[in-house]
Structure 1
Amino acid sequence: MTQILPAAFSPALILIIGGLLAGFLPRALRNLVGLATVVISIVHLLAYGFPGFGEQLLFGERTLSGLDITMIRVDRLSMIFSIAFHIAAMLNVIYGWRHATRLEFSMGLIYAGAAIGGTLAGDLLTLFIYWELAALSSVFIVWAGGGHSAFKAGMRYFVFQVVSGLCLLAGLVMHYASTGSVAFNSFITGSGALADLSPAAVLILVAFAIKAAFPLVHTWLQDSYPKASAVGTVLLSAFTTKMAIYTLARGFAGLDALIVIGCIMTAFPVFFALIENDLRKVLAYSLNNQLGFMVCAIGIGTPLALNGAASHAFVHIIYKALLFMSMGAVLVRTGTTKASELGGLHKSMPWTTVFCIIGAMSISAFPLFSGFVAKSMITLAASEAHLVFAYLVLLFASAGVLEHSGIKIPFFAFFAHDQYAPSITGKPRPAEAPAPMIIAMGLAAFLCIFIGVQPQFLMALQPFEAEYQAYTQAHVVTQMQLLLFAILAFALLVKFKLYPPELPSVNLDVDWLWRVPGRIALMGAVRGTAAVWHKVWWGIRAVVGKSINGLYTTHGPEGGMARSWTVGYTALTTAGVLGVVLLAVFFLN
């Protein structure tokens, strides 16, 4: 393709500039600007060409204050993520055509541009700039949800993002001090053990871990995403965590600890999602679960596993956006996504129901849907690496995904107890989702099916060379057995009333530690610091006051130094001072 802009001009800047312009335009014009900037950006990206395996193209290379900067690095790993981010940006522009606020629309384009810029960054300094821009733009999207809870959630979200940025900056400085370079390449040395990492690499890993929502630092995701608007949640689901997955794949592929961490990430959200009443929060936990598959694959580190991580990130961006879009449509029409307040919506929202089921089948990895193509790649990589425990955990997590996202989301939102039967509840049935939302969901659903039926198009984007066939008898039979038994388990649990009921409730996660005892400890520390400072300040005031009083006593209008002196005493004092000066000059010379 012909390059329409200078090669050193990043596609990310097109979206960022478009986002800035959109903030000053009326809705009709900013929608057109949004579409145009996404199209121009992806055309500019594809014009770089698609490098071969192991090849990379570098643009925007320069030296800045002694630092070698590479603003754009195009290789197969950065390309597959950048293409996925452009698809997400396009879907979000269409989905928010009528309902995105000026702030959400503007920040959404900037957010997408920051994610693409970070993915294309060839050095840590450029990555840091886009890393922080993504954090800053996304927090406005959380706040755009409106209300005090969204503001507080946004503040907590921002704290996590700032800590991540500080860790990345500190790691960058330490890495430059020890190596003299800020190039962004693999930090793995030796056997791939965590103990072999340098202190700088550990700090950078912590920065990536926070944005990837590792266990114990994951709750910013479940806290903030459901607080955003219907449009904002779809925006948030696509970029931050997948940018972190990209950086992990770039910098820490083959790190053994990631296998264990990934397994934990896939397993624990299953239990939280099953008992959660807010369906958007269920999807947030499900997002955590899906990230675990990618992190585990990065830890395995083989070409097949890394292809699985990249492919899973690609399809996950699409089908997770589809699920969040369907719940967003429900929120727009009903004002809630609480399972205890929904049901029966398939009668008046049939298109949204169908699209949600397609997203559910994709995330559950049914054959002929996109999730199957990518997820089986990761389980196969674990099997080939003889990681039996990891393989079993991934199978359990796959069954759990079906339970909470594949079945629970569409069942309780669109079927189950009919909350909108006029003869029973008296509530009018909500209308179908607005046309732009239907179009966006339709496009995402088409991609979920297209990739599942024609996986060769996704395989052509693979970042590493590895043999893989998605539709083998072993893959299909194993997955279908798993899915059918999971469906049977759900049916039996519901039949015998053993499935966790959908009740209005607040489920505690590890964020309770800093929301309750952590907040008490913080406020105690604040009060203690204030008390100490109060005592120190009054001590300083007392000392300074006494000193001033003493000076006033001797030098004030009534002090001894202010009284009249005789000529003789003055002459004697002057002679003494001169004598001291003469002695000082004599001895110093």
Structure 2
Amino acid sequence: MITNLLHPGIILIIFGLLIPHIKHKQLIPIFPIISFIILISLDEGSHFIINYNYFELVIISIDKLSKLFSYIFLLILFCTSIFSLNQENRTEIASAFIYVGSAISVVLSGDLITLFIFWEIMAIASTIVIWSGSKDAYYPGIRYLAVHLLGGSILLIGIIGYASSTGSVAFDLMNPENIFSYFILVGFLINAGAPPFSSWIPDSYPSASWSGTVFLSAFTTKTAVYVLIRGYAGYEFLIYIGVFMIFYGIIFAILENDMRRILSYSIVNQVGFMIVAIGIGTEIAINGASAHAFTHIIYKALLLMSAGSVFYITGKTKCTDLGGLYKTMPLTMICGIIGALSISAFPLTSGFISKSLTVQAAVYEDLKILWLLLTMASAGVFLHAGIKFPWFVFFQKDAKLKASDPPNNMKLAMIILSFLCIFIGVFPGLLYSILPFEVKYLPYTADHVSSQLQLLMFSGLAFFILLKFLKRTLTITLDFDWFWRKFGQLVINEFNIQLLIRFKNIIKSIQGVISQTFESLHKHNGPSGVLGRSWPTGHMAFWTTILLASFLLFYLFA
């Protein structure tokens, strides 16, 4: 019972509140370790329940799925804490810990009310992480917050309706016949970056600092993946949403010039693979979504650490301003390439053994068109993240930038994640053993390895053949966020104009009332007014007598 009271997520939130007051920032990476020790002390099947009115609030609910996501969240928090030791903005680090603690609390919650509370804390804390980047991050942060408040409002409507209609707030596989379960689904999908809100990820994440973007990449979308696995596995229409996200991310990443926006679009693309697997809904597909979320968090953090190191050292993020850094930032380049190979599902990397599960799930269900689309998408991923990112940042032309590898703590974080990308790829059984269901699939067969190598080889060949068309220029990539920014600004401006007009009319009305009041007072109290005239002595004596008589009668008979 004592261990149940120690909540791995809530303790991180408490640590986050204490971080601004900690003198030695080298102590900060210890906090995720403490939370991890608490987590492993909780046995599967552990629950901590609070009765609130007619509802049971399950603050902690432990099973293989919740432990899997909690493990990877804490692992990345630990590595990112090391990476960000040079970050002077304590507000960002404190907010990041509250953000991650809330994400873990969502994963461990067993009811919709607890989930919603930490869901909203997560949105607010992550907004502060974005705002901590620079002054230019204010408006992207506002748009980010607006999207998540919209999603939170829809989620709240769904939870209230679902609880009212079912009498329960337990969170498990949702009833597809209950209309309110779809409100909850929409709230979850907005956080996952599903259309038409996919653009909030590349709009907001690159606005954060060199360290803040790494924090942001791992938790919001993957928490959404977790709740979708938990509540909506097997909802087939999710396959179509996932396929859209896959190709949307590929197309815009190929067009993009900013390296951090390229990797942000790649997040949408990779989450699309996970949502496809959730839509398939079989055991191997759920294992695929879970494993892909696990490995994606690692290699995407590694890629963004590589990009963040370049930004930290050079102050530049656009591919047109970069190049030739392999000479001066060799370790950063190697780590970036390992992350790029992993996201491309290169054999002997973590991406290969996780993405294979989703593709194989489509084969087992005889979804031939889906299998073809996923195979094509794998080639597209290699184009934009596997080759484009390292080529334009570290190779191509020499931008003649004065640079060097980042400080030792940043290098250490990248080395740890690089090791994990390869270690998990070489020993897949370690990851497979902690997945929700038993894994009987063998990723390393001759046919699978050879076909994947051929796919990547031809994709790489296509990149260099089309290189002159893929070279970036100083252009702006128009995305769906253009609609929200421009249309939203138009609505706000029109609202402000109408509000100003109404405010002026109200002021005029108030001024008119005040003017009439003063005129009336002046009329009656001014020199020519009734109350301002000089009265004869007889009249004054008469009214004085009446007043005194009234007081006397009131005193005698009251």
Scaled by the length of structure 2, the TM-score of the pair is 0.90
Q: Which residue of 1 aligns with 2:494?
A: 524
Q: How many angstroms does 1:100 deviate by?
A: 5.0
Q: Is the 8 A contact 1:99 1:231 kept in 2?
A: yes
Rounded Cα–Cα distance in structure 2 between residues aligned with 1:375 and 1:126: 32
Deviations 1:8-49 (A, max 9, x none): 3211122111111111122xx2331x2222111111111113
* Match 1:247 to one of 209, 227, 230: 227
Q: 2:58 aligned with 1:70, yes or no?
A: yes
Q: Helix, strand or coil for the counterpart of 1:48?
A: coil
* Match 1:48 to one of 42, 51, 58: 42
Q: Helix, strand or coil for the counterpart of 1:96?
A: helix
Rounded Cα–Cα distance in structure 2 between residues aligned with 1:461 and 1:150: 38
Q: Which residue of 1 aligns with 2:145?
A: 158
Q: Is the 8 A contact 1:344 1:413 kept in 2?
A: yes
Rounded Cα–Cα distance in structure 2 between residues aligned with 1:528 and 1:151: 25
Q: Which residue of 1 aligns with 2:157?
A: 170
Q: Is the 8 A contact 1:267 1:393 kept in 2?
A: no
Q: Is the 8 A contact 1:8 1:71 kept in 2?
A: no
Q: Which residue of 2 aligns with 1:407?
A: 387
Q: Which residue of 2 aligns with 1:89?
A: 77
**Which stretch shows the higher mean deviation, 509-518 or 537-546?**
537-546
Q: Is the 8 A contact 2:338 2:418 kept in 1?
A: yes
Kindly provide the amino acid, as one letter, of the partner of residue 11 in structure 1. P
Rounded Cα–Cα distance in structure 1 between residues aligned with 2:283 and 2:519: 79
**Which stretch shows the higher mean deviation, 467-476 or 242-251?**
467-476
* Match 2:106 to one of 83, 104, 118: 118
Q: Which residue of 1 aligns with 2:13?
A: 16
The correspondence of residues 381-420 of structure 1 with structure 2, limited to 5 A, is 381-420=361-400
Q: Is the 8 A contact 1:237 1:321 kept in 2?
A: yes
Q: 2:90 aligned with 1:102, yes or no?
A: yes
Q: Is the 8 A contact 1:171 1:201 kept in 2?
A: yes
* Match 1:186 to one of 169, 173, 183: 173
Rounded Cα–Cα distance in structure 2 between residues aligned with 1:136 and 1:381: 37
Percent identity over the alignment? Answer: 42
Kindly provide the amino acid, as one letter, of the partner of residue 96 in structure 1. S
Q: Which residue of 1 aligns with 2:124?
A: 136
Q: 2:434 aligned with 1:461, yes or no?
A: yes
Q: Which residue of 1 aligns with 2:549?
A: none
Q: How many angstroms does 1:548 deviate by?
A: 10
Q: How many angstroms does 1:389 deviate by?
A: 2.5
Kindly provide the amino acid, as one letter, of the partner of residue 102 in structure 2. A
Kindly provide the amino acid, as one letter, of the partner of residue 455 in structure 2. L
Q: Helix, strand or coil for the counterpart of 2:194?
A: coil
Deviations 1:269-325 (A, max 9, x none): 211111211101000001110000001111111111111001000000000000000
Kindly provide the amino acid, as one letter, of the partner of residue 159 in structure 1. A
Q: Helix, strand or coil for the counterpart of 1:93?
A: helix
Rounded Cα–Cα distance in structure 1 between residues aligned with 2:153 and 2:510: 35
Give every structure 1 segment of 4 or more consecutive aligned residues whose post-TM-superposition deviation is greater than 3 Å: 532-559
Deviations 1:529-581 (A, max 9, x none): 4434644675687689879989999999849xxx99x99xx9xxxxxxxxxxx
Q: Which residue of 2 aligns with 1:424?
A: none
Q: How many angstroms does 1:257 deviate by?
A: 1.5
Q: 2:11 aligned with 1:31, yes or no?
A: no
Deviations 1:132-179 (A, max 9, x none): 1111111111111112x2111111111112222222222221111111
Rounded Cα–Cα distance in structure 2 between residues aligned with 1:551 and 1:353: 83
Rounded Cα–Cα distance in structure 1 between residues aligned with 2:366 and 2:523: 88
Q: Is the 8 A contact 2:130 2:204 kept in 1?
A: yes
Rounded Cα–Cα distance in structure 1 between residues aligned with 2:325 and 2:452: 30
Q: Which residue of 1 aligns with 2:207?
A: 227
Q: Is the 8 A contact 1:188 1:255 kept in 2?
A: no
* Match 2:238 to one of 258, 261, 279: 258
The correspondence of residues 474-553 of structure 1 with structure 2, limited to 5 A, is 474-494=447-467, 497=468, 499-532=469-502, 534-535=504-505, 538=508
Rounded Cα–Cα distance in structure 1 between residues aligned with 2:478 and 2:3: 51
Rounded Cα–Cα distance in structure 1 between residues aligned with 2:423 and 2:88: 28
Relative to 1, partners in 2 of residues 1:172 and 1:547: Cα closer, same or farther, differing over 3 Å? farther
**Which stretch shows the higher mean deviation, 544-553 or 157-166?**
544-553
Q: Is the 8 A contact 1:31 1:93 kept in 2?
A: no
Rounded Cα–Cα distance in structure 1 between residues aligned with 2:454 and 2:171: 42
Q: Is the 8 A contact 1:175 1:201 kept in 2?
A: yes
Relative to 1, partners in 2 of residues 1:117 and 1:540: Cα closer, same or farther, differing over 3 Å? same
Q: Which residue of 2 aligns with 1:579?
A: none
Q: Which residue of 2 aligns with 1:339?
A: 319
Q: Which residue of 2 aligns with 1:207?
A: 187
Kindly provide the amino acid, as one letter, of the partner of residue 504 in structure 1. L
Rounded Cα–Cα distance in structure 2 between residues aligned with 1:449 and 1:558: 98
Q: Helix, strand or coil for the counterpart of 2:5?
A: coil
Scaled by the length of structure 1, the TM-score of the pair is 0.86
Q: Helix, strand or coil for the counterpart of 1:214?
A: coil
Q: How many angstroms does 1:57 deviate by?
A: 2.8
Relative to 1, partners in 2 of residues 1:417 and 1:300: Cα closer, same or farther, differing over 3 Å? same
Q: Which residue of 1 aligns with 2:406?
A: 433
Gaps of 5+ in 2: 547-558
Q: Is the 8 A contact 1:23 1:30 kept in 2?
A: no
Rounded Cα–Cα distance in structure 2 between residues aligned with 1:155 and 1:240: 16
Q: Which residue of 1 aligns with 2:552?
A: none
- Quote the RMSD (CA, aligned, Å): 2.4
Q: Is the 8 A contact 1:275 1:501 kept in 2?
A: no
Deviations 1:473-527 (A, max 9, x none): 3322322221111011112112xx2x32221221110111122233223312332
Q: How many angstroms does 1:387 deviate by?
A: 2.0
Deviations 1:45-88 (A, max 9, x none): 11113x4xxxx3322x0112332111001011111111010111
Q: Helix, strand or coil for the counterpart of 1:230?
A: coil
